[in-house]
Amino acid sequence: MRVPLAWLREYVDVQLTPEQLAERLTLLGMEVKGIEQWGADWRSVVVGELLTVEKHPYADRLHLTTVNIGSGEPLHIVCGAHNIAPGQRVPVALPGAVLPGDRHIERTEKMGIASEGMLCSGDELRITADAEGILILPAEMPLGRQLSDLYGDAVLDVDVKPNRGDALCLIGLAREVAAATGAALRWPEIAVEEAGGPIAERLRVEVREPELCTRFVGRWVSGARIGPSPDWVQMRLQTAGMRPINNVVDASNYVMLELGKPTHTFDGAAVNDGKIIVRRAFQGERLETLDHVDRELTEDTLIIADPRGPIGIAGVMGGADSEIGDRTTEIAIESAIFDPVSIRRTGHRYALRSEASLRFEKGQEFRLARIGADRVAQLTLAWAGGSVARGRVDTAPAEPNSSQLAFRPRRVSKLLGTDVTAAEQRALLRRVGIETEEAGTAPRIQVAVDPRPLAVPAGEDLVIVATVPTWRRDLAIEADLAEEIARVRGYESTPAHLPATLMPAYRPSPLKVRDMIRETLAGAGLTEVVTHALVSSLDEARLLWPEDTSEPAIPGDLAAQSGDEIVVTNPLSAQHSVLRRHLAASLLDVLSLNERQGRGDVAVFEIGKGYARVGDGPREWTRLAFLMTGAAEPASWNRVARPYDLDDARGIAELLCQRLGLPTPSYVPDARGFPFHPGRALVARAEAGSEALSGRMAEMHPDVLARWDLRAQRVIIAELASPVLDSAVPARVRVEPIPRFPEVERDLAVIVAEGHTAAEVEATIRRHGGALLRGLRLFDLYRGAPLAATEKSLAYRLVLGARDRTLTEAEVDAAVAGVRSGLESEIGAHLRT
C-alpha cells in the first residue's frame, strides 16, 4: 500500500524523517519495501505568475504569455490552454526541465514565435487528471519556488500482511505510527448535513442472502453536479496510486484509502424503483461491468440488483449501466459488509480482483459500514454539492461490542523466552489500543480457534483480560496477544540464547549417501547439474527412454516400472507441464544449451527425483543420471585427447558400486535400437542382499541427437536408480583377513567367436575356477592376425590361492586346466599359450 506522508500527517503527527519512520514501521511488522520521492521527476518546474495573456498572431488556438518567475526577465511562453488569465499562478517548466515520463522541455519555436518553456497541466505533472487546462495554483504559492519543494512528498510502500486488513488504509497505518511513536491519532471529523427528504422515499434495500451480506448501509445524495474533484483531492489520490475519475467516484476511492472501507456509488437514476436487492445471480443473467466486459453470471455469484436485474457484482465491480457519469445527479451509496470467502471466490472466478475486493477478502470491521457511508456522503456533498437524504438504510444497525480475550502473562513470557511483567505487558497492549483488566472469575484461555479450536482452564496462573478493538479481527488467541506484546516491545529486545533442552535421538542423514556419490562423481570429472522437475510432455515421446528393467524387482523402484506421468493441471507453459520420470532428456537439454555456447566437451550428472502416478497416489524416488560427450581427457601439450565412450560409463558405474559397497555390476547387452545405438547399449545391475543398483547405459542413437539438434556425434547417457540413493546408511565394509599364503598369477588368452560376450567368458572362468580362483582381471582384448576374422582374444590374469596353505604347482595346474576345459566345452574357446 502506498502511503503519502503528507496525507498520513492528517491523522497523526510524524516527527521522524521518512527513513526513520520506515524503519520504525518495519520493526513493528509493517514492512516498508521502499520510499518513493513523489515529485522527484519534476525537475526545473517552478511557480510563475502570468503577467500577460494574448492571442498568438498566426494560430487561433495558441496564446502568447509573459510569465514572472520571481527573478530575471519575464519569460515568453506559448501556450495552447484556454483556462489562463493574467494574475494566475501556474507551474512553469523551464528550458532543461524534465517532466514525468522522461519528457524533456527545451526552448522551442511555435508558429514562428519563440517559447522559453512550458506551462504545465495537472496531467503533465501527474498531479491531477486534467489534461486540458493549465494547473492553476493557489495564489499564496511563492514565485520561483521549485514545485517539488511545495508538492513533493515521500511515499512509503508498506507491505501490509494478509491478516492486517485493518491496516490497509491511512487511518490503520496512522494507528501503527501512533503505537510506534506514542503520538495521538486524529480521526477525521465525520458529520453529514442532511438537507434532503427522508431516505425511505429514495432507497429501499432487501438483502436476500444475510449470510453473505451481513450488513448493508445505504445513503442517497440528490442534485449533485459531476465534475473533477478539487486539485488537492486528485493529488492525494495520484500520490496514493489511484487515478482520479470524478468527484463522486473519487469520494468513494478516497474513503477506501482513508478508512479502508470499500464502498460503491450508483447512478441513482439507474436503480429502478429505488430498490436494491442483494441476492445470488440467476442462471443465465448477464452484466456488463465497469471495465466494459459483458459477463455471464454464475448462480453462486453474489450480486447487487434492482428489480429489473443485476447492477453490480457485490464487492468486486459495479455495472456499466449504473456508472456515475457526467449527467448523473442522483447518487446511491452502498457501504456493505460481505462474506470474505464469497468475495474471494467471486474474484477468482471472474479473474477480477480489485482494490475493493482485496479489502473485502480480508474481512471488514462491522461498524465501518456505517462510518464509510457517512464519510462518502459527506465528501460527495462537499465536492459535488446537492443534498443528502435524511437518515440511512441499514440492514443491521446493531454494532457488536469489542470482544474479550484472556491471556496468561506467564505463558507470554515463556513463549518469548524472557520475563516481561504483567504490568509491562498491559502497558504495551495499551499502545495498540488494547485495554486490559485483571480477570475476575477465571475465564477459559483460548489457545487455538478454528480449524482446531482449543480452550483450557487457566489454572493457577494470573489471567488478564484484554478488550480487543473491533478493527483487530486478527486477534483471536492468546498467542496473538503474545505477538502484539512482542512487536510493540520490539523483537530486538528479545534476548538470544542457544537452546539448552534435550537433543533428539540420532538419525542418519539421507543427504549423506548422496553427498558421497556427488563427491565421487565430481572427482571422476563429472560436473553436477540441477534441472527442472517439470518438463515438456513431449520430452518422453521425443526420447522414449525405456522403463526401468523389471527383473528382478528392485525394491523401491516399482513406480518406474508401472507409473503414469503426473500432469500439472494449471501449467505455466507447455515446456513445464509434467513431472519427469527420467532425467535423461533433461541432460540432453543441458548439453544442447552448452553446445550453443560453443562447448563440445560436456560431462554432467544429476541426482534428482523421478515422479510417477501409481494407482491413486504419487510415487517419488531418487535417480542418478550422467551424460558424457566430447573429450574425456582433453588434449594437452603432453597427451592427445581421448573421447568419452561407453567404457567410461561402465567405469563410473563400477566406481559407484565400490563406493556404495556393492559388487561389481554385471552387464547385459540391450539391442533394442532407438533411442540407443543398437550395438552400444546395456543394462547394468549390481546386487548385494536387499541393496541393489540398476539402470541403463548407452551411446545414444544418432536420431536422438538429431532430435535435440546436437552437433555431438557420440553421446553417452547412463541413468540408474537405487534404493541406496534414498537410504541414509552407506553399506558397511566387512574386512577379510589378509592372505597369509602367497597367491599365484596365471595369464590365459581365451580365443572365442565374436558372438560370445566378455561377460559370458568371465562367468565361465569363474564357474570353473572354483574356490581357488581369488581374482580375475581382463588385461587385453585382441582382434586380427593370426586370429580368424570372426574371432577375438581376451587375455585374463587369474589369481589363485588358498586361505590355509601355499598351493602346489600341481594344484595350480589342475585349477587352470579345469578353467580351460570348461571354456572349451561350454563356449568353444581355445586358448593361446
Partner 1 sequence: MDFESLSADLRALQQRALDEAAAAPDPESLELLQIRYLSKKGEITTVLRGIGALPAEDRPRVGAIANAVSEAVKAALAAREAELHAEVQTFRLAGERVDVTLPGRPRSRGTLHPIPETMAAIAEVFGRFGFVVYEGPEVEDDLTNFQMLNMPPDHPARDLWDTLYVDIPGRLLRTHTSPGQMRVMQSTKPPIRALLPGRCFRYEAVDASHGFEFFQVEGLMVDEGTSLADLKGLLDEFAHALFGPRKTRFRPGYYPFTEPSVAFDVECVVCDGVGCPACSRSGWMTILGAGMVHPVVLQYGGIDPERYQGFAFGMGVERIANLRHAVPDLRYYLENDLRFLEQFR
User: Cell for 545?
Assistant: 527412454
Query: Could you tell me if 622 and 633 are in contact, meaning their C-beta atoms sit under 8 angstroms apart?
Result: no
Question: Smaller CB distance to partner 1: residue 491 or 674?
Answer: 491
Question: Smaller CB distance to partner 1: residue 27 or 59?
Answer: 27
Query: What is the nearest approach in angstroms of partner 1 to the Cβ of residue 707?
Result: 19
Query: What is the nearest approach in angstroms of partner 1 to the Cβ of residue 261?
Result: 17
Question: Smaller CB distance to partner 1: residue 502 or 738?
Answer: 502
| Footprint (CB under 8 A) of partner 1, residues 12-71 | 22-23, 26-29, 31, 33-35
What string of DSSP letters covers 683-708?
A: EEEEEETTEEEEEEEEEEPHHHHHHT
Query: Could you tell me if 402 and 294 are in contact, meaning their C-beta atoms sit under 8 angstroms apart?
Result: no
Site string for partner 1, 584-603 (x = CB under 8 A): ------x--xx--x-x--xx
Question: Smaller CB distance to partner 1: residue 251 or 445?
Answer: 445
Query: What is the nearest approach in angstroms of partner 1 to the Cβ of residue 492?
Result: 6
Question: Smaller CB distance to partner 1: residue 165 or 228?
Answer: 165
**Which is nearest to 42 in space by CA: 130, 147, 116, 132?**
147
Contact region for partner 1 (CB under 8 A) — 253-261, 276-284, 629-637, 794-802? 629-637
Query: What is the nearest approach in angstroms of partner 1 to the Cβ of residue 160?
Result: 9
Q: How far is CA 77 from CA 66, 86, 105, 110, 134, in A?
A: 6, 13, 12, 9, 13
Among 131, 454, 771, 781, binds partner 1 (CB under 8 A): 454
Question: Smaller CB distance to partner 1: residue 63 or 362?
Answer: 362
Residue 14, Cβ neighbours under 10 Å: how many?
20
Distance of CA 215 to the CA centre of its chain: 35
| Pairwise CA distance, residues 466 & 484, whole Å | 12
Question: Smaller CB distance to partner 1: residue 229 or 346?
Answer: 346
Query: What is the nearest approach in angstroms of partner 1 to the Cβ of residue 184?
Result: 23
Residue 515 interacts with partner 1 (CB under 8 A): yes or no? yes
> How many residues sit in the footprint of partner 1 (CB under 8 A)?
107
| Footprint (CB under 8 A) of partner 1, residues 455-514 | 456, 477, 479-480, 482-483, 486-487, 491-492, 494-499, 501-504, 506-507, 509-511, 514
Q: How far is CA 519 from CA 516, 607, 627, 653, 728, in A?
A: 5, 12, 17, 14, 16
Query: What is the nearest approach in angstroms of partner 1 to the Cβ of residue 444?
Result: 12
Position 635, amino acid: A
Contact region for partner 1 (CB under 8 A) — 75-83, 130-138, 144-152, 568-576? 568-576
Among 194, 258, 361, 365, binds partner 1 (CB under 8 A): 361
Could you tell me if residue 174 is left (phi over 0), alpha (psi between -120 and 50 degrees) or otherwise beta?
alpha
Query: What is the nearest approach in angstroms of partner 1 to the Cβ of residue 377?
Result: 29
Residue 827, Cβ neighbours under 10 Å: how many?
17
Question: Smaller CB distance to partner 1: residue 451 or 786?
Answer: 451
Query: What is the nearest approach in angstroms of partner 1 to the Cβ of residue 490?
Result: 9
Residue 283 interacts with partner 1 (CB under 8 A): yes or no? no
| Pairwise CA distance, residues 697 & 545, whole Å | 11
Q: How far is CA 605 from CA 45, 472, 524, 702, in A?
A: 61, 54, 11, 21
Query: What is the nearest approach in angstroms of partner 1 to the Cβ of residue 478?
Result: 8
Angle in degrees, CA 71, 73, 78, rounded to 5: 110
User: Cell for 767?
Assistant: 564357474
Residue 638 interacts with partner 1 (CB under 8 A): yes or no? yes
Question: Smaller CB distance to partner 1: residue 327 or 639?
Answer: 639
Residue 87 interacts with partner 1 (CB under 8 A): yes or no? no
| Footprint (CB under 8 A) of partner 1, residues 136-175 | 161-164
Residue 521 interacts with partner 1 (CB under 8 A): yes or no? yes
Query: What is the nearest approach in angstroms of partner 1 to the Cβ of residue 98?
Result: 21
| Footprint (CB under 8 A) of partner 1, residues 104-143 | none
* Residue environment code for 130-158, b if the CB has 16+ CB neighbours within 10 A, otherwise e: beebbbbbeeebeeeeebbeebbbbbbeb
| Footprint (CB under 8 A) of partner 1, residues 602-621 | 602-605, 607, 609, 611, 613, 616-618, 620
* Residue environment code for 688-723, b if the CB has 16+ CB neighbours within 10 A, otherwise e: eeebbbbbbbbbbbeebbeebebebebbbbbbbbbb
For residue 162, the SS3 value is coil
Among 527, 690, 713, 821, binds partner 1 (CB under 8 A): 527
Query: What is the nearest approach in angstroms of partner 1 to the Cβ of residue 550?
Result: 23
Residue 655 interacts with partner 1 (CB under 8 A): yes or no? no
**Which is nearest to 710 in space by CA: 643, 649, 633, 629?**
629
**Which is nearest to 832 in space by CA: 794, 805, 797, 798?**
794
Residue 640 interacts with partner 1 (CB under 8 A): yes or no? no
Among 530, 574, 753, 781, binds partner 1 (CB under 8 A): 530
Query: What is the nearest approach in angstroms of partner 1 to the Cβ of residue 639?
Result: 7
- Write down the residue that cell numbers 524416488 correspond to: 621
